[in-house]
Amino acid sequence: MNYNDTLKIDIQSEIGILDAVLLHRPGAEVENMTPRNVQRALYSDILNLSIAQSEYEQLSGVLSKVCRVYEVKDLLVKVLEQWKPRADLIHRICESEDVMSYIDVLMEMKSEELARVLIEGLPARIDTLTSYLRNEYYALYPLYNFYFTRDAAVTIGNQALVCRMANKVRMRESLIMNAIYAYSGAFECDVIDVNEKQAESSPIIMEGGDIIVAREDILIVGNGVRTTSQGIDFMVERFRRSAPRGRYNVIVQQLPSEPESFIHLDMVFTLLDKDKCMVFKPLIMQANQYQTVHITIDDGVVSSIRPVSSILSALKKLGMDLKPVVCGGDDEWDQEREQWHSGANSFAFAPGKILTYARNIHTLDKLDKAGFEIIKAGDVVSGKAVIGDGPCAVAIDGSELPRGGGGPRCMTMPLARQHVDW
């Protein structure tokens, strides 16, 4: 990939034809864990790396056929080749992870080796009694979750919002993403780093899996364990200040704190087309205790905050009349199983063209009945199948990747989309 041409960040919808995307191929960091630290890694199990990489090649292979693909590690190397951005990033990382004594070691590394270490982890020096008694193998822990590039930063319009994530083990992801957007030279955008000037105890927290740009004037946000009400207030305030005059809408959906598969909004709701969405029915379409709130901004002023019956009803009143496709099909048991395996976590690379997991057979059946052609991702990559003009669901093998806790939307950070003719 030639990164010499600067790309203007431009995301005005969730479904517009994808021009560019940012990915991170899972590497050794995924396996640099044991059953003892798997919970700290925010996983429910240990992945088989070779199988996970094979499955990931289907995702990246399909996307490389339809858009420009940027790689996190390549861009990180470009940042680290510049002395001041390198020094600033290393200092922020070492300060946040309390390993200031390693700054000199990191600064002396070659850029490619340093990029690898910042992602895969840095083994600790065991040269004092204190370091020995800590019983920690790593000074810098591996970024086990970094292949979920969606979470650490959000692209909205021409802005990159660098998130303040819920778990400190993922803080470095945000710091790296901030450096990439600000210093790689690959992108033209305004960068808002939420981590700046925030006390460690600050309740302002948000992650990209909870943030959906539905339309130029509609943002849908999940409020749960990974995105707080204070984090949403922060986003609304920034939106209120920067948006042009007119009316803008923020629809907030409260989420359960458990099971862990409900960590983000995009695990229960994603957009498929101008008139279709994927939903986990029990939460999105049935009565429950979780509120949906509509915030209206008029000419830069929050003019109303009121409850609504559902995301779908609120969107319909705003001119987006969406027909839901039910994750897991008609059976409640299948709905729960396939939601757990990221059946609702689809990623649209064009209106009516999505990436999803092949394992969720009842979800695929519903997509088929809704008019989506089901295509194997491996066939697209090999050239055996082509993506036609009609709606389609490109199905990725997913025995290992879902065990990390996410699907195609989690693994993709859109950078530029063509505008949609609504």
Number of domains in the chain: 1
Q: Indicate if the pLDDT at residue 325 is higher than 70.
A: yes
Give the pLDDT confidence of 268-292 residue by residue, as tens digits.
Answer: 999 999 999 999 999 999 989 999 9
- The residues facing 21 across adjacent strands are 69, 414
Cβ pair 147, 26 in contact under 8 A: yes
Q: Indicate if the pLDDT at residue 38 is higher than 50.
A: no
Give the pLDDT confidence of 217-249 residue by residue, as tens digits.
Answer: 999 999 999 999 999 999 999 888 877 789 999
pLDDT at position 197: 82
Residue 209 lies in a domain: yes
Residue 66 lies in a domain: yes
pLDDT at position 346: 98
CATH number at residue 406: 3.75.10.10
pLDDT level of residue 44 (50, 70, 90 thresholds): low
- The residues facing 111 across adjacent strands are none
Which of 277, 347, 330, 260 has its CA nearest to residue 251? 277
Residue 2 lies in a domain: no
What is the percent of the chain with per-residue pLDDT over 90, rounded to a whole number?
82
Is the pTM of the predicted complex or chain greater than 0.85? yes
| Beta carbons within 8 Å of 116's beta carbon, 6+ residues apart | 73
The Cα 29–Cα 172 span in angstroms is: 13
How many CB atoms sit inside 10 A of residue 87's CB? 14
Cβ pair 335, 328 in contact under 8 A: yes
pLDDT at position 258: 82
Which spans in 81-120 are helix H?
A: 83-96, 103-107, 111-120
Q: Indicate if the pLDDT at residue 83 is higher than 80.
A: yes
| Tokens of residue 238, six digits | 């920034």
Mean of pLDDT values over 141-158: 94
pLDDT at position 2: 59
Residue 175 lies in a domain: yes
Q: Indicate if the pLDDT at residue 4 is higher than 50.
A: yes
What is the percent of the chain with per-residue pLDDT over 70, rounded to a whole number?
96
pLDDT at position 39: 45
Q: Indicate if the pLDDT at residue 341 is higher than 60.
A: yes
Residue 422 lies in a domain: no
Q: Domain limits at 242?
A: 7-417
Residue 1 lies in a domain: no
Cβ pair 372, 410 in contact under 8 A: no
Residue 59 lies in a domain: yes
Residue 143 lies in a domain: yes
